[in-house]
């Protein structure tokens, strides 16, 4: 049995869709051709535990010392962190919108 490989972009898209609350796990699995719901749960765990370096690591490779691939420059790391913060900001804005909407009802 062959292992599936998902790009970092796919992983982030799954996390973003899941956090938006607009999609169920089943819908996300169909949209991104993910075989098992545990994969989504793993990526969400990485996100919640702020293990962002894991989104870029290849299958079977686990980084512990430097928390990421040796080839990643400071600029690449900074860009990834900026993208992560932008996503968090979008999520928080959406949360506040929903909260205000519920207050009005």
pLDDT tens digits, 30-55? 999 999 999 999 999 988 888 877 88
Question: Read out DSSP for 24-75?
Answer: -HHHHHHHHT-S-HHHHHHHHHHHHTT-GGGGGPPTT----SSSS-TT--HH
Q: What is the mean pLDDT of the chain?
A: 81
**Residues 57, 37: Cα–Cα separation, whole Å:** 20
Report the pLDDT averaged over residues 25-34. 93
| pLDDT for residue 63 | 56
Given pLDDT bands bounded at 50, 70 and 90, which one contains residue 21? Answer: confident
| pLDDT for residue 52 | 79
Displacement of CA 87 from its chain's centroid (Å):
9
Share of the chain above pLDDT 90, in %: 22
| pLDDT for residue 41 | 93
**Residues 8, 59: Cα–Cα separation, whole Å:** 12
């Amino acid at each position: 049995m062959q292992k599936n490989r998902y790009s970092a972009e796919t992983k982030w898209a799954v996390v973003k869709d899941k956090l938006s609350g607009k999609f169920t796990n089943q819908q996300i699995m169909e949209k991104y051709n993910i075989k098992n719901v545990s994969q989504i749960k793993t990526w969400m765990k990485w996100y919640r535990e702020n293990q962002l370096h894991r989104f870029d690591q290849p299958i079977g490779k686990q980084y512990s010392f430097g928390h990421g691939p040796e080839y990643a420059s400071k600029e690449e790391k900074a860009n990834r962190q900026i993208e992560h913060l932008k996503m968090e900001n979008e999520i928080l804005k959406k949360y506040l919108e929903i909260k205000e909407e519920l207050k009005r009802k």
